[in-house]
């Protein structure tokens, strides 16, 4: 009998249903703000439908990939609904990557159409011959203009007729988000509609979003689809305030003019913002703001300032493979009585699973580690908030999904109240300003320099970025390498943020008896005197 009435009691879970509903419920309320542009939910929905219809006219069919190179401006937000509504799969690309890296993702994802903000148009010119699968390039004229089919013209090609949600199976792919990974080759995390839907509901719950909320786009939409807020904010009926780049003056202005209630980002963003606010004599926001912090735990000094300014910090932890945030330091009202120091300590914990997540901290035999605040274990996840695999990389999926769980590679302890604290990032990953950098990738680039004998890249603490890459190099004898040489060499070959900020020339590197470099020794030396690596 169940199957007979499936059409009545089953709807595939998809975030596309959220915008359809919000366009009905909040039709005349503001959905999107960007500079002098303001779209109501009805207008936003109309643009999304035009986008889906226009994608059909240029040949996008079910399952086709559509790449986007864009900062946090309306077209990318629209793409999160428009592309899947057309039946396509969205591939949002990190705008800080270099042209070669962008080419790899565009080609590896089999994208047929590419949308690119004109600020990045030159990058594409350089790689035109490396992306032969692209049939159409649409440019987004925001800060500058250029030739070719422009986004607003493209929208006009599509009718505003409501497109029927094309999802039949909730496990269909909705987006592919590339992570830098440890091998240096980006891996495409396949998000499905069900996961995106459930994670959006979880973000609404964990971040207390509702129709009175005003969400400022400080988190890049190309990072885990803006931690799923691309779908969650419109779902809640919240206003999305777009932001082309992180600019403290602009953020402070928008907080007041758009009555911002929610924003998110790495501690570095908030250090920058509060420093600027102090410089300008701004002591308090005019209203309460919920700030989601991820990437690294917020230092006590920052927490103190934010608290004084009227912000509530909610710390989260997750990975691209878990649709972004996956654990949260859920607060207890009974903790409000604690001293500031004790509260700050707890706020730095990554906490507990999201309401719909499953997390374990395990030893090498996959046993749960004790809740003793000492023993270290690996953070592993499973369930509806885990990707369905890496696109076209079955061996990487197999490796990450061994033992029936997703292996984060991150190391944590579990406190006596069950709350986790991340002690080490994935061994070989450097987290700089919220961006993941694979040290192996940096090493590989440096190894290409003819004068380098051996290299090892580890994170080193940095006041502004949290961590930056530092290279330990053994130069070939008879050569005259300088720090500047290495940095310039890297900058020509990689995104700048991935390049080492410091270089130390050494005579030897610590090694195991079998000759493997003991990276952790160098890492620990860099972080000597600190309680844990991430700071």
| Binding region for a copy of itself (CB under 8 A) | 1-2, 5, 7-11, 13, 17-18, 21, 24-29, 171, 192, 195, 201, 204-205, 208, 210-212, 235-237, 330-334, 352-353, 355-356, 358, 382-384, 386-389, 394, 397, 401, 404-406, 417-418
Nearer CB in complex with a copy of itself: 173/182: 173
Q: Which two three-digit tokens encode residue 5?
A: 């009435």
> Which 8-state DSSP code applies to residue 260?
-
Nearer CB in complex with a copy of itself: 139/397: 397
Shortest reach from residue 180's CB to a copy of itself, in Å: 21
CB 221 within 8 A of CB 212: no
Nearer CB in complex with a copy of itself: 324/353: 353
Distance between CA 387 and CA 318 in Å, rounded?
A: 12
Nearer CB in complex with a copy of itself: 171/276: 171
Shortest reach from residue 234's CB to a copy of itself, in Å: 11
Shortest reach from residue 395's CB to a copy of itself, in Å: 12
Q: Which of 426, 431, 414 is CA-nearest to residue 352?
A: 414
Nearer CB in complex with a copy of itself: 17/183: 17
Dihedral of CA 376/377/378/380: which sign?
A: negative
Residue with tokens 């900020």: 501
Shortest reach from residue 366's CB to a copy of itself, in Å: 13
Nearer CB in complex with a copy of itself: 127/386: 386
Nearer CB in complex with a copy of itself: 151/401: 401
User: In sequence order, which residues have a C-beta less than 8 Å from that of residue 334 and are 6 or more positions away?
Assistant: none
Shortest reach from residue 439's CB to a copy of itself, in Å: 26
Shortest reach from residue 201's CB to a copy of itself, in Å: 5
Distance between CA 278 and CA 141 in Å, rounded?
A: 35
CB 93 within 8 A of CB 76: no
Dihedral of CA 493/496/502/508: which sign?
A: negative
> Phi then psi for 13, rounded to 5 degrees?
-70, 120
Nearer CB in complex with a copy of itself: 384/535: 384
Shortest reach from residue 199's CB to a copy of itself, in Å: 12
Distance between CA 380 and CA 366 in Å, rounded?
A: 9
Nearer CB in complex with a copy of itself: 42/141: 42
Long-range contacts of 369-375 (CB under 8 A, 24+ apart): 369/413, 369/414, 370/414, 371/414, 371/415, 371/416, 371/417, 371/418, 372/413, 372/414, 372/416, 373/413, 373/414, 373/415, 373/416, 374/413, 375/413, 375/414
Cα of 17 vs its chain's centroid, Å: 23
Q: Which of 172, 209, 189 is CA-nearest to residue 85?
A: 172
Shortest reach from residue 263's CB to a copy of itself, in Å: 19
Distance between CA 438 and CA 186 in Å, rounded?
A: 10
Shortest reach from residue 210's CB to a copy of itself, in Å: 7
Shortest reach from residue 110's CB to a copy of itself, in Å: 16
Nearer CB in complex with a copy of itself: 418/450: 418
3-state per-residue secondary structure call for 174-195: EEEEEECCCCCCCEEEEEEHHH
Cα of 164 vs its chain's centroid, Å: 29
Shortest reach from residue 340's CB to a copy of itself, in Å: 20
Please state at what angle helix 193-206 crosses helix 16-25, rounded to 10 degrees: 50
Nearer CB in complex with a copy of itself: 156/161: 161
């Amino acid at each position: 009998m169940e199957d007979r009435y499936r059409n009545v009691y089953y709807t595939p879970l998809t975030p596309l249903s959220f915008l359809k509903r919000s366009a009905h419920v909040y039709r005349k309320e503001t959905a999107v703000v960007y500079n002098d542009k303001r779209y109501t939910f009805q207008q936003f929905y109309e643009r999304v439908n035009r986008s889906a219809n226009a994608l059909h006219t240029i040949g996008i069919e079910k399952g086709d990939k559509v790449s986007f190179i864009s900062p946090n401006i309306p077209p990318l937000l629209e793409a999160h609904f428009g592309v899947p509504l057309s039946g396509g799969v969205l591939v949002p690309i990190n705008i800080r990557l270099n042209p070669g890296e962008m080419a790899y993702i565009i080609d590896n994802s089999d994208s047929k159409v590419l949308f690119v903000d004109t600020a990045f148009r030159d990058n594409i010119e350089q790689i035109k011959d490396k992306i032969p699968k692209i049939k159409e390039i649409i440019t987004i004229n925001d800060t500058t203009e250029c030739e070719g089919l422009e986004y607003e013209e493209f929208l006009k090609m599509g009718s505003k007729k409501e497109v029927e949600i094309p999802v039949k199976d909730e496990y269909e792919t909705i987006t592919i988000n590339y992570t830098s990974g440890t091998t240096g080759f980006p891996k495409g995390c396949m998000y499905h509609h069900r996961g995106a839907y459930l994670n959006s509901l979880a973000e609404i719950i964990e971040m207390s979003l509702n129709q009175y909320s005003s969400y400022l786009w400080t988190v890049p939409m190309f990072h885990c689809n803006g931690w799923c807020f691309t779908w969650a904010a419109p779902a809640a009926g919240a206003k999305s305030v777009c932001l082309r780049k992180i600019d403290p003056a602009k953020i402070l202005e928008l907080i007041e003019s758009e009555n911002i209630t929610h924003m998110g980002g790495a501690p570095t963003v908030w250090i920058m913002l509060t420093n600027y606010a102090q410089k300008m004599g701004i002591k308090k926001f005019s209203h309460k703001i919920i700030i989601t912090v991820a990437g690294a735990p917020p230092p006590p000094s920052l927490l103190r300032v934010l608290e004084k300014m009227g912000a509530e910090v909610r710390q989260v932890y997750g990975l691209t493979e878990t649709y972004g945030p996956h654990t949260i330091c859920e607060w207890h009202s009974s903790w409000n009585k604690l001293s500031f120091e004790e509260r700050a300590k707890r706020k730095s914990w990554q906490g507990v699973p999201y309401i719909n997540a499953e997390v374990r901290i395990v030893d090498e035999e996959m046993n749960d580690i004790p809740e003793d605040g000492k023993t270290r274990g690996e953070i592993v996840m499973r369930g509806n908030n885990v990707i369905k695999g890496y696109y076209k990389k079955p061996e990487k999926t197999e490796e990450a999904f061994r033992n029936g769980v997703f292996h984060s590679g991150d190391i944590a302890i579990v406190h006596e109240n069950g709350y986790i604290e991340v002690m080490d990032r994935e061994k070989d990953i450097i987290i700089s300003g919220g961006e993941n950098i694979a040290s192996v990738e940096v090493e590989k680039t440096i190894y290409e320099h003819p004068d380098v004998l051996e290299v090892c890249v580890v994170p080193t603490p940095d006041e502004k970025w949290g961590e930056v890459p530092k290279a330990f190099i053994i130069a070939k004898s008879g050569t005259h390498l300088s720090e500047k040489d290495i940095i310039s060499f890297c900058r020509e070959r990689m995104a700048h943020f991935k390049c080492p900020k410091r270089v130390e020339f050494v005579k030897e590197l610590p090694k195991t008896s079998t000759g493997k470099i003991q990276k952790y020794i160098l890492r620990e030396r860099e972080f000597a005197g600190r309680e844990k690596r991430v700071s």
